[in-house]
């Protein structure tokens, strides 16, 4: 059991290191978020599981599972909020990024997509009159 | 790209009155107190802080709660949770390999996916779970239009999103609206 928890510690630490490496190596903000969200979530989960196995107590298990649950609930929310803020405020994407369909259709101040119009305000096309 | 199906109206007409939510207050306070007890490892002195914090957390969570009452289905949870854990494990390994690979195998694309979930809360829930699935990160959510940033366009994002959506619908016990084309084809 000791070796198993040691292996979990090492796997967790390696994943957190990879998350850090990815943040440095990835070419734009959204891809860095991919890296920091997913790898770090797995890394923290492995470390917490290793600690729970090491101590083998109900109270430590309960706290470790609570921490893992919190990470799984909060990390994607934070990633979505950061990613949305970056995407909607026009942080430049990597040049290789394909098909940014929102290009030129997004009004930054009002957060309104101009096409399709049904999604935004269902106003008739009054503005199109020259 | 030009096609735009009619916007699904939200089912707001079935919204229960606000005070119904207050019935959940004691339950939430009890749940937060249980959480406090777990985190504080049964230390009795800590309840001086624990009780007010549990009550305050219950009040905040009720004031932030969606107007619609919802609950997770057990069968839906049995289908969703193993899927989510497996896919997020795959997602972490996938992005770790990409980050370490000497050539950085990235071909990012922004995919626009039309959700078939009728409920706003389920949509937000799905948008947040997408960020832990392999290679995908939800960039924006406008009603039923979800923009997903994908690390590599060869990843089967559409299939993953569809099976995730089916499971989220089962989790919330809602029907998916019928539609055919869900992912808009990338422009060249």
> Number of helices and strands (H, E) in chain B?
6, 3
Using alpha carbons, list the distances in angstroms from residue B180 to A75, B48, B113, B176, B183: 32, 56, 12, 12, 9
Q: Nearest CA of chain B to the CA of A5: how many Å?
A: 18
User: Could you tell me the two tokens for B5?
Assistant: 């199906």
Residue B47 is classified by DSSP as: H
* A90 compared with B21, residue with greater pLDDT: A90
Distance between CA atoms of residues B53 and B44, nearest Å = 15
Q: Nearest CA of chain B to the CA of A65: how many Å?
A: 10
Q: Nearest CA of chain A to the CA of B96: how many Å?
A: 6
Torsion of CA A125, B1, B7, B8, to 10 degrees: 180
* Residues B42-93: tens digit of each pLDDT: 677 888 888 999 999 988 888 877 666 677 888 888 989 999 999 999 999 9
Nearest-CA residue of chain B relative to A25?
B99
Q: State whether residue B72 is helix, strand or coil.
A: coil
Question: Which residues in A lie closer than 8 A to residue B111 (C-beta atoms)?
Answer: 99
* Residues B145-154: tens digit of each pLDDT: 888 888 888 8
Residue in B6, B39, B138 nearest the CB of A66: B39
Using alpha carbons, list the distances in angstroms from residue A75 to A24, A72, A87: 19, 6, 18
Question: Which residues in A lie closer than 8 A to residue B187 (C-beta atoms)?
Answer: 99, 101
User: Could you tell me the two tokens for A86?
Assistant: 């970056």
Tell me the average pLDDT across A58-77.
90
Q: Nearest CA of chain B to the CA of A1: how many Å?
A: 22
Residues 27-86 of A with CB under 8 A from B: 27-28, 30-31, 33-35, 37-39, 41-42, 59, 62-63, 66, 72, 75-77, 79-80, 83-84
Asked whether A38 and A71 are in contact (CB, 8 A), the reply is: no
**What DSSP letter does each residue of B10-33 carry, written as one string?**
P-GGGPPPTHHHHTTHHHHHHHHH
For chain B, give the mean pLDDT.
80
């Amino acid at each position: 059991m000791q070796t198993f928890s040691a292996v979990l510690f090492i796997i967790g630490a390696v994943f957190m290191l990879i998350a850090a490496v990815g943040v440095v190596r990835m070419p734009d903000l959204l891809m860095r978020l991919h890296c920091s969200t997913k790898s770090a979530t797995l890394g923290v989960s492995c470390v917490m599981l290793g600690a729970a196995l090491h101590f083998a107590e109900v109270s430590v298990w309960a706290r470790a599972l609570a921490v893992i649950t919190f990470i799984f609930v909060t990390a994607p929310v934070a990633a979505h909020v950061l990613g949305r803020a970056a995407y909607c405020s026009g942080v430049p994407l990597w040049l290789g990024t394909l098909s940014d369909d929102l290009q030129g259709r997004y009004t930054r101040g009002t957060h309104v997509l101009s096409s399709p119009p049904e999604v935004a305000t269902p106003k008739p096309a009054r503005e199109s009159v020259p | 790209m030009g096609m735009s199906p009619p916007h699904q109206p939200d089912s707001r007409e079935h919204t229960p009155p606000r005070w119904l939510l207050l019935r959940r207050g004691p339950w939430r306070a009890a749940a937060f107190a249980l959480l406090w007890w777990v985190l504080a490892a049964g230390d009795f002195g800590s309840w001086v802080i624990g009780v007010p914090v549990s009550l305050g957390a219950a009040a905040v969570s009720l004031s932030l709660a969606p107007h619609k009452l919802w609950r997770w289905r057990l069968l839906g949870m049995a289908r969703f949770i193993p899927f989510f854990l497996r896919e997020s494990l795959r997602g972490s390994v996938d992005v770790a390999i990409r980050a370490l690979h000497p050539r950085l195998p990235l071909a990012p694309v922004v995919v626009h996916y039309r959700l078939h979930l009728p409920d706003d809360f389920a949509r937000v829930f799905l948008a947040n779970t997408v960020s832990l699935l392999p290679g995908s990160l939800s960039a924006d959510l406008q009603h039923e239009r979800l923009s997903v940033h994908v690390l590599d366009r060869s990843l089967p994002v559409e299939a993953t999103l569809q099976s995730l959506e089916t499971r989220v619908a089962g989790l919330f016990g809602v029907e998916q609206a019928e539609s055919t084309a869900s992912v808009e084809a990338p422009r060249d």
